[in-house]
Amino acid sequence: MLEIRKESLESEAATRLIGALNVELRGAYPEPGANHFRLDAEEIGEGRGAFVVAYEDGRAVGCGGLRKLDEETAELKRMYVTPEARGRGIGKAVLEMLEEEARKLQVNRIVLETGIRQTAAAAMYHRAGYRNIEPYGEYVLSAATSICMEKVF
């Protein structure tokens, strides 16, 4: 059974999942400046965003965050599903919950960055209605390895 719930960015499950994500990204993107790991707890505090953890049969297997950038736009951050849990719709379920959180924040646009080597993630976002956009913010400096997307609702 899959359960997704809001949690602190500093929870044990969040810390473990984000650590695994960082290791995976460092291995996939060794280029200087290719990784943007920063997400601060205050950025996802009440009224500013959310962080969620997905549990499958009681085991933390995925996570994702959403931070409000301005009155109309929020950004997805730190989306991750453990390798052994991939392909079962967990990422889609996390994404749907974060989109629900975005609606509660009354934004009408979500942006995200994923990497050129994360083809399964990019495909999931496209299936969910996201479209490619020009690199924005800090991702302009890593345009060679970044894919930026948005969804307007």
pLDDT digits (tens, 9 = 90+) for 75-124: 999 999 999 999 999 999 999 999 999 999 999 999 999 999 999 999 99
- Which architecture, in CATH terms, is 2-108? 3-Layer(aba) Sandwich (3.40)
- Cα dist from 55 to 12, 58, 72, 99, 101, whole Å: 13, 5, 30, 18, 18
Domain ranges, ordered by start, for the chain: 2-108
In the chain, where do the E strands start and end? 2-6, 49-56, 59-68, 73-81, 109-115, 131-133, 146-152
Task: Please report which confidence band the pLDDT of residue 39 belongs to, taking 50, 70 and 90 as the band edges.
Answer: confident
| Structure confidence by residue, pLDDT tens digits, 54-72 | 999 999 999 999 999 999 9
